[in-house]
């Protein structure tokens, strides 16, 4: 039986909902300071060019321009590169490596003047041959994006366990396919923005749209050559991140350096157009996948060759590639696995983490291929999944230790859903409309360890009126962490959610945090908050025990009261207790602290893919129903369902919000979204041309969660934000196959690709360069084929 | 009335002195001809609840009501907005009480990062002003110019339905909505 929680598990509106609804929530671009200047960045128009010289004199002479900076004004710090040195300067040093690479920056009294000053900067470029896709980049003699990276290899992972070659020879059935995913964008609506203010005393205060503020804290100190404690990061509200606002960017650095140079606060806000062509994208991947099964559907061996387009810089790409390789080992039992991954430099915008971080690409390939195999073997793909599902207590060949795991339960729930839908959804009335249902599953981490420091921390101050102030180093990018963390504090202290005030992050006093990535906040910061609240509760229990004349261990904190267990009448209201503590004697200060990281989590071995990544893993199965118009090629998503194991949900409404947002986002990734480039120039750098789902694409999203409790998670919780974006693409692709009998091995599945596939041409009109793969018709059934 | 101001290498440019009626109050502003309503609301008048997502008319984050109709304020010039009633998200709450749409968005979980929220709520407001009892398709249609990457729209549509239902129950809601409309009546072509 689950304990009877007051603040855990319910449907509670978020703590920052009212300020956001009222329009009072301040985002970085909304802030201004007296005397503030506005900055703009000059970007390379060439995908690959040597910078011979930059003449800034005319721009600097323009009235109302306060400063023009280039790499000459910087220390040449190179960002990125976990586990190895970085290679991305904030202002290009010797070369520009993609269209949009920043070359110079200007601060002026307003944006228009800054914009005009950019036009007066004269950059002499020697245009070089670019490499625009990873396969030409790997060819012998190809131009090098970085001189120290032969073959344009950015990183390699070579994961292997079991005996793959031998295992294939024992299989009844082996198939090999090539899959391809497109470069896509994170799609946050708030563009990058930064406001920096330098004080002569040597302190920098920075407000930015940062998902992981302490990435910026560390890099800012290094890039400016000042002590970390002199960098004060204050986190305003954040307009979405999805992985694309983790790293510190040139906009952040330039705001700071321009402020130092001018002695004035400087704000830099980039345009959405710049966000699309000059910042980050999800790694497009080419995946050669060979899988062997027995006739009964038992999965025996997997061999994968993955090429990921890393774009111009290293960034955090080693982790991306590591995750692509290692998540072939989940969510099924795979006795023999080999995954060779290569991340390759090209002269395009850098690739980085995006919701699901590397895993959506490989699970797309593996989950679609599983359906293909099941279809060949005459098996039900759901039963094949159930047969091979990873179980609690398993350890994968690459050492992922699975503790709580409700995967099988999610598969059973998905089977029920699919059966119900087959009854409920009528066949399409028009002959050219075909309907189908597909499923796919996932596993995901609850906070991967990427470097030494993995600890999150929380501070609690109890106010004199009994309200509770809570601060952590984890920012809320919209996922709702400030609410979930406040709920945990409220539960421990026996107060209500509305009694907790979540403070904005300020690095001056809030302890350092690894960052908001890899679905770590509920699991890791949540445990830190629990400890901080327990610390305060201990202090208060001591005082209450004195007043009530009992042992502190016998006290219960519940419903804004502290009382003796078994004798609720004998107690004291929480606010009165706080007052007694603070005003008795010379007064006591109620401050709580807590920090936590899972013990025994290995440092990832990026090169071999070995090591346990996380203290817990989440699991789930996605079901999708689609309708394909065989005349126009358009696919309409009718319904989606997610059965998932996120442990004990802390807030059902927020979890649902994550599932819905992730799922509908995945609809875009599957059918419409693709960054299109010609000669390195982005051709669809606007929301009009880069088509993300709108309200018209919203469909019902059903959700069920398993009855799983994680031993390590706070109140039994695991992650719920990212895993759900892992299986949506393959579920939709499998549903399209169910409708029209065509497998699509390249996403997005555009209407042109559908029509071409149905006409029997496998060329596929997918607008994703480097065409290979495409669609595979396995002979549309007579009654389902186009007329 | 015109004022001159020194600007960059363009020498002197002309500033127009205009009056804008925002949330029931008149504001004087000095603007250049090409300045958008969005920039003037945010930078001169401090209505930062109107968000700049794209500045190209394609995300809806900057949506405000112009004579009761939802417009993308990044596509409207400030000088064109004179003499018209402008309502921003800051003007929706009355006497410290949130508009039913604002409460519904909060209560059903239709807000995540919140960056799309002001525009989304104002597009919904314009819909409910002209159609107090919209169907689900009409809601989706009315919100189709407002992008949201966080929520998948499911709870947003639900929030609008809930606010519409509440509104049809609460008889007292009508006078407030009338105040959002200005004389003269909305002109054709002013909406999006
Ligand atoms: S900012 Fe106006 S529509 Fe995007
Ligand atoms: S709530 Fe983040 S974009 Fe809508």
Can you name the residues that pair with A64 across neighbouring β-strands? none
Domain range summary for chain B, segments of one domain joined by +: 1-88, 92-173
Which protein residues touch ligand 2 with a CB less than 6 Å away?
Answer: A 189, 240, 478; B 111-117, 148-151
Q: Do A389 and A467 reside in the same domain of the chain?
A: no
- Give the structural domain span for A511: 455-596
Q: Do A438 and A476 reside in the same domain of the chain?
A: no
Minimum Cα–Cα distance from B54: chain A residue: A272
Q: Do A677 and A699 reside in the same domain of the chain?
A: yes
CB A723 within 8 A of CB A323: no
Task: Tell me how crowded residue A216 is: count the other CB atoms within 10 A of its CB.
Answer: 28
Residue with tokens 């609008």: B160
Q: Do A359 and A257 reside in the same domain of the chain?
A: no
CB A175 within 8 A of CB A376: yes
Which protein residues touch ligand 1 with a CB less than 6 Å away?
Answer: B 52-55, 57-62, 72, 74
Residue window 182-221, chain A: list those with CB within 8 Å of chain B: 186-191
CATH number at residue A95: 3.90.1170.50
Tokens of B173: 């809601």
Pairing mode, if any, of strands B69-72 and A78-79? unpaired
What is the predicted pLDDT for the residue at B5? 55
Taking the CA of residue B52 as reference, the ligand 1 atom at the shortest distance is: 1
* Average pLDDT, integer, range A99-118: 98
Cα–Cα distance list, A239 to A26, A651, A718, B112 (Å) = 10, 21, 24, 9
Task: Tell me how crowded residue B1 is: count the other CB atoms within 10 A of its CB.
Answer: 8
Is A432 inside a domain boundary? yes
Rounded distance between C-alpha atoms, residue A614 and residue B157, angstroms: 36
Q: Do A637 and A675 reside in the same domain of the chain?
A: yes
**A468-486 burial string, b = 16+ CB within 10 Å, else e?**
bebbbbbbbbbbbbbbbbb
Q: What are phi and psi of A599, to 5 degrees?
A: -80, 150
Please tell me if residue B23 touches chain A, with a CB cutoff of 8 Å: no
What is the predicted pLDDT for the residue at B11? 56
Q: Do A683 and A662 reside in the same domain of the chain?
A: yes
Domain closes at, from A596, A623, A651: A596
What is the CA(B111)–ligand 2 centre distance, in A?
Answer: 7
Give A605-663 as a 3 state SS string. ECCCCECCCCCCEEEEEEEEEEEEECCCCCEEEEEEEEEEECECCCCHHHHHHHHHHHH
Q: Is the pLDDT score of A117 beyond 60?
A: yes
Is A11 inside a domain boundary? no
Q: Is the pLDDT score of A768 beyond 60?
A: no
> To test ligand 1's pocket by mutation, which of B47, B61, B148, B191 has the most ligand atoms within 8 angstroms of CB?
B61
Q: Is the pLDDT score of A28 beyond 80?
A: yes
Please tell me if residue B44 touches chain A, with a CB cutoff of 8 Å: no
Chain A nearest-CA distance from B173, in A, is 18
Pairing mode, if any, of strands A468-472 and A617-629? unpaired
Taking the CA of residue A239 as reference, the ligand 2 atom at the shortest distance is: 2
Beta-carbon contacts below 8 Å between A and B: 200
- Residue A304: pLDDT band with limits 50, 70, 90: very high
pLDDT in tens, A68-79: 999 999 999 999
**Average pLDDT score, chain A:** 94
Chain A nearest-CA distance from B166, in A, is 17
Rounded distance between C-alpha atoms, residue A84 and residue A102, angstroms: 23
Rounded distance between C-alpha atoms, residue A121 and residue A237, angstroms: 34
What is the predicted pLDDT for the residue at A778? 45
Q: Is the pLDDT score of A428 beyond 90?
A: no
Question: What CATH fold (topology level) applies to the domain B92-173?
Answer: DNA polymerase; domain 1 (1.10.150)
CATH number at residue A753: 3.30.365.10
* Average pLDDT, integer, range B94-121: 97
User: Per the CB < 8 Å rule, is B151 touching A657?
Assistant: yes
What is the predicted pLDDT for the residue at B181? 43
- Residue A500: pLDDT band with limits 50, 70, 90: very high
User: Per the CB < 8 Å rule, is B149 touching A14?
Assistant: no
Domain closes at, from A596, A617, A637: A596
Task: Tell me how crowded residue A65 is: count the other CB atoms within 10 A of its CB.
Answer: 24
Q: What is the DSSP letter of B43?
A: I
Q: Do A685 and A729 reside in the same domain of the chain?
A: yes
Q: Is the pLDDT score of A18 beyond 90?
A: yes
Please tell me if residue B11 touches chain A, with a CB cutoff of 8 Å: no
- The contacts of residue A423 (CB under 8 Å, 6+ apart) are none
Ligand closest to the CA atom of residue B120: 2
Residues in chain A closer than 8 A to B98 (CB atoms): 18, 21-22
Cα–Cα distance list, A575 to A567, A586, B179 (Å) = 19, 18, 43
First to last CA, chain B: 30
What is the predicted pLDDT for the residue at A291? 98
User: pTM for this structure?
Assistant: 0.94
Taking the CA of residue A189 as reference, the ligand 2 atom at the shortest distance is: 3
- Which of A542, A536, A548, A589 shows the shortest CA–CA distance to A572? A548
- The contacts of residue A225 (CB under 8 Å, 6+ apart) are A75
The proportion of chain A whose per-residue pLDDT surpasses 70, expressed as a percent, equals 96
Minimum Cα–Cα distance from A190: chain B residue: B53
CA nearest ligand 2 atom 2, residue: B113
Q: Is the pLDDT score of B8 beyond 80?
A: no
Cα–Cα distance list, B166 to A22, B99, B103, B163, B169 (Å) = 19, 11, 11, 5, 5
pLDDT in tens, A350-409: 999 999 999 999 999 999 999 999 999 999 999 999 999 999 999 999 999 999 999 999
Count of domains in chain A?
3
Please tell me if residue B61 touches chain A, with a CB cutoff of 8 Å: yes
Q: Do A418 and A319 reside in the same domain of the chain?
A: yes
Q: Do A303 and A367 reside in the same domain of the chain?
A: yes
Q: Do A707 and A677 reside in the same domain of the chain?
A: yes
- Which of A376, A462, A456, A442 shows the shortest CA–CA distance to A659? A442
Q: What is the three-class DSSP state of A470?
A: strand
Is A22 inside a domain boundary? no
Residue window 171-190, chain B: list those with CB within 8 Å of chain A: none
- B10, B61, B109: residue with CB nearest A13: B109
- A11, A18, A694: residue with CB nearest B147: A694
- Which of A563, A533, A568 shows the shortest CA–CA distance to A549? A563
Is A330 inside a domain boundary? yes
Q: What are phi and psi of A531, to 5 degrees?
A: -65, -40
Q: Do A434 and A487 reside in the same domain of the chain?
A: no
CATH of the domain spanning B1-88, picked from 3.30.565.10, 3.40.50.620, 3.10.20.30, 3.40.50.720:
3.10.20.30
Higher pLDDT, A400 or B175: A400
User: Per the CB < 8 Å rule, is A665 touching B157?
Assistant: no
- A21, A242, A700: residue with CB nearest B98: A21
- Which of A626, A624, A623, A631 shows the shortest CA–CA distance to A754? A631
Residue window 633-692, chain A: list those with CB within 8 Å of chain B: 653-654, 656-657, 660-665, 686-688, 692
Number of DSSP helices (H) and strands (E) in chain A, helices first? 18, 34
What's the distance, CA A288 to chain centroid?
24
Task: Tell me how crowded residue B134 is: count the other CB atoms within 10 A of its CB.
Answer: 18
Ligand closest to the CA atom of residue B192: 1
Q: Do A570 and A677 reside in the same domain of the chain?
A: no
- Residue A469: pLDDT band with limits 50, 70, 90: very high
Note whether B1-88 and B92-173 share their fold: no
Q: Is the pLDDT score of B175 beyond 60?
A: no
């Amino acid at each position: 039986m689950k304990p009877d929680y007051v603040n855990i598990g319910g449907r509670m509106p978020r703590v920052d909902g009212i300020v956001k609804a009222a329009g009072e929530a301040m985002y970085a671009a909304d802030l201004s300071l007296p005397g503030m200047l506005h900055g703009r960045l000059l970007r390379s128009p060439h995908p690959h060019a040597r910078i011979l010289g930059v003449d800034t004199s005319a721009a600097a002479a323009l009235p109302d321009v306060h400063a023009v900076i280039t790499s000459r004004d910087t220390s040449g710090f190179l960002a990125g590169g976990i586990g190895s040195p970085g290679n991305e300067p904030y202002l290009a040093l010797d070369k520009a490596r993609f269209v949009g690479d920043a070359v110079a920056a200007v601060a002026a009294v307003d944006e228009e003047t800054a914009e005009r000053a950019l036009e007066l900067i004269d950059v002499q470029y020697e245009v070089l041959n670019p490499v625009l896709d990873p396969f030409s980049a790997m060819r012998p003699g190809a131009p090098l994006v970085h001189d120290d990276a032969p073959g344009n290899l950015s990183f390699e992972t070579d994961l292997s366990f079991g005996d793959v070659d031998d295992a294939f020879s024992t299989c009844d059935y082996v198939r090999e396919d090539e899959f391809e995913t497109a470069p896509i964008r994170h799609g946050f609506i708030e563009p990058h923005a930064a406001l920096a203010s330098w004080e002569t005393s040597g302190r920098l205060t920075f407000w930015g749209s940062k998902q992981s503020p302490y990435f910026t804290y560390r890099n800012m100190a290094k890039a400016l050559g000042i002590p970390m404690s002199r960098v004060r990061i204050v986190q305003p509200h954040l307009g979405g991140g999805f992985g694309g606002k983790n790293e510190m960017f040139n906009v952040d650095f330039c705001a700071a350096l321009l402020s130092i140079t001018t002695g004035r606060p400087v704000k830099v806000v980039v345009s959405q157009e710049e966000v699309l062509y000059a910042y980050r994208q999800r790694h497009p991947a080419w995946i050669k996948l060979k899988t062997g099964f027995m006739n009964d559907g038992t999965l025996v061996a997997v061999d994968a060759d993955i090429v990921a387009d890393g774009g111009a810089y290293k960034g955090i790409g080693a982790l991306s590639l590591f995750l692509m390789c290692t998540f072939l080992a989940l969510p099924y039992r795979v006795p023999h696995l080999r995954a060779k991954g290569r991340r390759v430099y090209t002269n395009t915008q850098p690739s980085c983490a995006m919701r699901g971080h590397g895993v959506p690409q490989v699970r797309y390939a593996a989950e679609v291929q599983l359906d293909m195999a099941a279809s060949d073997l005459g098996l039900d793909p759901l039963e094949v999944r159930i047969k091979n599902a990873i179980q609690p207590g398993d350890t994968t060949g690459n050492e992922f230790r699975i503790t709580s795991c409700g995967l099988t339960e999610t598969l059973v729930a998905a089977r029920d859903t699919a059966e119900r839908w087959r009854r409920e959804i009528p066949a399409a009335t028009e002959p050219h409309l075909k309907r189908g249902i597909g499923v796919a599953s996932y596993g995901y981490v609850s906070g991967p360890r990427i470097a030494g420091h993995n600890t999150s921390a929380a501070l609690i101050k109890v106010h004199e009126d009994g309200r509770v102030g809570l601060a952590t180093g984890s920012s809320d990018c919209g996922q709702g962490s400030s609410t979930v963390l406040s709920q945990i504090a409220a539960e421990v202290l026996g107060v209500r959610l509305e009694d907790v005030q979540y403070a904005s992050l300020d690095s001056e006093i809030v302890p350092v945090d690894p960052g908001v990535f890899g679905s770590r906040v509920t699991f890791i910061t949540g445990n830190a908050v629990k400890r901080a609240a327990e610390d305060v509760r201990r202090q208060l229990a001591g005082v209450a025990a004195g007043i009530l004349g009992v042992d502190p261990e016998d006290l219960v904190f519940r419903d804004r009261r502290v009382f003796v267990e078994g004798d609720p009448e004998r107690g004291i209201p929480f606010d009165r207790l706080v007052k007694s503590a603070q005003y008795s004697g010379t007064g006591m200060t109620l401050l709580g602290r807590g920090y936590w990281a899972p013990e025994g989590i290995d440092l990832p071995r990026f090169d071999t893919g070995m090591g346990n990544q996380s203290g817990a893993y989440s699991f789930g199965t996605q079901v999708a129903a689609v309708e394909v118009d065989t005349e126009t090629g358009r696919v309409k998503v009718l319904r989606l369902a997610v059965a998932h194991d996120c442990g004990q949900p802390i807030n059902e409404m927020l979890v649902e919000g994550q599932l819905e947002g992730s799922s509908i986002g995945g609809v875009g990734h599957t059918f419409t979204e693709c960054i299109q480039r010609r000669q390195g120039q982005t051709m669809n750098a606007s929301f009009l041309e880069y088509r993300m789902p709108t309200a018209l694409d919203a469909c019902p999203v059903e959700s069920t969660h398993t009855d799983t409790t994680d031993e390590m998670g706070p109140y039994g919780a695991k992650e719920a934000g990212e895993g759900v974006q892992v299986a949506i693409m393959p579920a939709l692709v499998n549903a399209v196959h169910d409708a029209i009998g065509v497998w699509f091995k390249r996403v997005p599945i555009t209407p042109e690709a559908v029509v071409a596939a149905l006409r029997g041409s496998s060329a596929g009109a997918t607008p994703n360069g480097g065409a290979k793969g495409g669609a595979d018709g396995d002979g549309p059934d007579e009654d389902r084929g186009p007329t | 009335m015109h004022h001159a101001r020194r600007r960059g290498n363009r020498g002197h440019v002309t500033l127009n002195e205009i009056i804008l009626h925002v949330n029931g109050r008149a504001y004087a502003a000095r603007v250049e001809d090409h300045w958008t309503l969005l920039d003037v609301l945010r930078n001169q008048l401090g209505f930062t609840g109107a968000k700049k997502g794209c500045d190209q008319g394609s995300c809806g984050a900057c949506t405000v009501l112009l004579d009761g109709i939802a417009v993308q304020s990044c596509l409207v010039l400030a000088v064109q907005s004179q003499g018209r009633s402008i309502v921003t998200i800051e003007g929706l709450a009355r006497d410290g009480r949130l508009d039913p749409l604002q409460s519904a968005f909060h209560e059903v979980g239709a807000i995540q990062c919140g960056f799309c929220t002001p525009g989304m709520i104002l597009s919904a407001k314009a819909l409910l002003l002209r159609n107090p009892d919209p169907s689900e398709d009409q809601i989706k249609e009315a919100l189709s110019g407002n992008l949201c990457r966080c929520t998948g729209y499911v709870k947003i549509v639900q929030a609008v339905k809930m606010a519409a239902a509440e509104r049809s129950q609460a008889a007292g809601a009508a006078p407030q909505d009338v105040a959002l409309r200005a004389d003269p009546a909305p002109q054709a072509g002013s909406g999006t």
